[in-house]
Amino acid sequence: MVLEGISHISGFNDCYAYNKDELIVNIRTNKTIKKVTLYADDPYINGCSTSAPWDGQPFEMQLKYELKHEYIYSVTVKPKYKRLQYYFRLTDVNNETMVYQESGIVTEEEFKKNLFKEYFKFAWMNEADISVHPKWVENTYWYQIFPDRFSREEAPFEGNLSKWDDLSSFGHNVFYGGNLKGAMNRLEYLHDLGVNGIYFNPLFVSDSNHKYNIDDYLHIDPNFGSNVDLKLLVEKAHSLGIRVMIDAVFNHSGLGFFAWKDVVENKRKSKYYDWFYINDDENFTITHKSTKDSRFYSFAFVDNMPKLNTNNPEVMEYFVNVCKKWIDMWNIDGIRFDVGNEISHAFIKKLHSELKAYRRDIFLLGEIWVNSSQYLQGDEYDSVMNYPYLENLSNFYLDKSKSADDFKYAVNFCYSMYQKQVNENIFNLFDSHDIGRMYTRVNNYDYFIQMLVILSTLPGSPCIYYGTEIAMEGENDPYCRYPMRWDIIEDKSRDETFRQVHSLIRMRIDNHEFLGDDYRFVQTEGRFIVYERNGIRIYLNAEENDRAVSFGKEPEVLFSYKFSDGILKAGGALVVRL
């Protein structure tokens, strides 16, 4: 038997409680393992003595995910007494069997001979340890708004404004005057589009157009409006059935933040000195220069974003109270945490504990670009921005040598990273303010539509970036932040794209079959992909040739692009209820 690549830990994502009754057990193996049986029971079912007989009941494990070089088998059990002791029996393609216990893999003979069995054990299904998220997130289709670029209602503005359609001097220091009143006046538009969640990039006092260097966390930037404006916007959004999430930048502040200003003035005598990471008392106030010299730590060596010490209890307490004030002032539904993997675990745990006690259904989203399972064990974030999903699935469309099997492996990899309940509300996206727009990236309208079908049908809580509904273009930052093309909306030149996106959003929200994390691949051949979700089947033809599609009986068509008379044309997509 090939033993490499077989692994399991009794905890984390390998063994965890899905709810108070069900325990999910996963094991990774190499591809020579064709069968895995879990033997499990309560550890004390026949007594507490180590000499008490114990065999375990057999549970056949199912192949949950196939990756390029490994399998992941899974089974859900219901421990009657909330405890579970277990081991695995492995069978390979040559019908050889071995036993996997906590100390390693042994032959059947060794296992029987050993007096002390090194069983795996899940000690107790404590409800407080179960990862639970707000259920409303599962059926939320998000729309991300970069405030300065979304919509402008005439209002006073400090500084120079560019004309909405003038891109001649576009850059990081250009302001277009988008504001909260402008966004509020577009809420009916968003309601008509079908989205039921808005994620706003930072709204607070800052001298930049992106507002990620915040000077005052308790006041809306005057160029965006006022605290009252946000209150009115949230109230109106809620009346239209739209949730609102705002951006929290607690990894770093701006240079105008009161604590940093006090440190600049008083240096080590400042009571806020330990709120930051200052390494050179004499030179840390130098500006307009990279912080690679380590005079102080900052975000990405940017000198106007000094890094906050989120290990400091005073910093933790201050920003927890900031969040509570946001909830009180504006009745927001979610908070997205910028640079979510650089703030301390201790701080995130405190945020989770106190904010969930303050408002049970608040949604806590982390911005992390890599596997984030350590932050998703139930006591930190509810979800993260799923950049591995964006990157891996985009690669299928950027590299035509990749096959449908490669697509399957990529999808399975993304969902194998997390617990089942996390996958149910994982924040899926294909573009944002930090990365080039989806349509520009693939430079192919057919692929653009297929990616929107994927976004709308795979497990998770999908999000589109403002303008995606009209296939707005833009390379990486800052060019992915062009002003919203309201002229295109008004001249109706891309109405067909708007209708397609609207149709996909409504399909996703209106059909409960898209909830949960279950999916299965039905066919992967060439670059032709078929997968299914609870009786709804999705077809994607990423080939250069047409494909015939047949059904046992006439299905209900939920979405169709380049499909007619049983033929899915090259580049087409189809979603049907069987």
Q: What is the per-residue pLDDT across 71-92, written as a single tens digit (0 to 9) for each?
A: 999 999 999 999 999 999 999 9
Contact 16, 64 (CB under 8 A): no
Torsion of CA 480, 481, 485, 486, to 10 degrees: 150
Q: Examine residue 134 and state whether it is found in any structural domain, yes or no.
A: no
Tokens of 484: 């919203």
Q: What percent of the chain has pLDDT over 70?
A: 100
Element (H, E) at 16: strand 15-17
Verify that 563 and 448 share a domain, yes or no: no
Q: Examine residue 3 and state whether it is found in any structural domain, yes or no.
A: no
Q: Is the pLDDT of residue 155 over 80?
A: no
Verify that 467 and 397 share a domain, yes or no: yes
Verify that 226 and 257 share a domain, yes or no: no
Tokens of 465: 């970036």
Q: Is the pLDDT of residue 499 over 80?
A: yes
Verify that 167 and 64 share a domain, yes or no: no
Q: Examine residue 135 and state whether it is found in any structural domain, yes or no.
A: no
Domain boundary pick from 95, 129, 163? 129
Verify that 175 and 302 share a domain, yes or no: no
Q: pLDDT value at position 114?
A: 79
Question: pLDDT digit string (tens) for 446-455?
Answer: 999 999 999 9
474 confidence band (pLDDT: 50, 70, 90): very high
CATH number at residue 556: 2.60.40.1180
Distance from C-alpha of 414 to C-alpha of 460, rounded to nearest angstrom: 11
Domain boundary pick from 241, 275, 309? 309
More confident of the two residues 554 and 407: 407
Torsion of CA 199, 201, 204, 210, to 10 degrees: -170
Verify that 221 and 257 share a domain, yes or no: no
Q: Examine residue 10 and state whether it is found in any structural domain, yes or no.
A: no
Verify that 411 and 469 share a domain, yes or no: yes
154 confidence band (pLDDT: 50, 70, 90): confident
Distance from C-alpha of 262 to C-alpha of 367, rounded to nearest angstrom: 29
Element (H, E) at 25: strand 23-29
Q: pLDDT value at position 420?
A: 98
Q: Examine residue 279 and state whether it is found in any structural domain, yes or no.
A: yes
Alpha helix segments (H runs only) across 61-166:
108-113, 147-150
Question: pLDDT digit string (tens) for 231-255?
Answer: 999 999 999 999 999 999 999 999 9
The CA-based angle 470-474-480, given to 5 degrees, is: 100
Verify that 24 and 118 share a domain, yes or no: yes
Asked if omega into 478 is within 30° of 0 (cis), the reply is yes
Domain tally, the chain: 4
CATH number at residue 48: 2.60.40.10
Domain boundary pick from 309, 340, 358? 309
Q: pLDDT value at position 158?
A: 76
Question: pLDDT digit string (tens) for 507-546?
Answer: 999 999 999 999 999 999 999 999 999 999 999 999 999 9
Q: pLDDT value at position 49?
A: 79
Verify that 348 and 295 share a domain, yes or no: no
DSSP annotation of 452 reads: H
243 DSSP β-pair partners: 197
Verify that 404 and 471 share a domain, yes or no: yes
Sign of CA dihedral 480, 482, 485, 487: negative
115 confidence band (pLDDT: 50, 70, 90): confident
CATH number at residue 267: 3.90.400.10
Q: pLDDT value at position 160?
A: 83
Q: Examine residue 8 and state whether it is found in any structural domain, yes or no.
A: no
What's the whole-model pTM score?
0.96
CATH number at residue 388: 3.20.20.80
Residues with catalytic roles = 338, 367
Torsion of CA 491, 497, 501, 504, to 10 degrees: 140
Distance from C-alpha of 256 to C-alpha of 559, rounded to nearest angstrom: 50
Task: Find where tokens 């390998």 sit.
Answer: 14
CB atoms within 10 A of CB 121: 14
Distance from C-alpha of 404 to C-alpha of 138, rounded to nearest angstrom: 27
Q: pLDDT value at position 27?
A: 98
Task: Find where tokens 């909405």 sit.
Answer: 164
Range of 75's domain? 15-129
CA gyration radius, the chain: 26
Tokens of 39: 């033997």
> Which has the closest alpha carbon to 101: 111, 109, 93, 92?
111
Verify that 420 and 314 share a domain, yes or no: yes
Q: What percent of the chain has pLDDT over 90?
A: 94
Do β-strands 71-77 and 23-29 pair in parallel, antiparallel, or remain unpaired? antiparallel
Verify that 211 and 266 share a domain, yes or no: no
**Mean pLDDT on 10-18:** 97
Q: Examine residue 4 and state whether it is found in any structural domain, yes or no.
A: no
Q: Examine residue 228 and state whether it is found in any structural domain, yes or no.
A: yes
Q: What string of DSSP letters covers 421-435?
A: HHHTT-EEES-BTTB
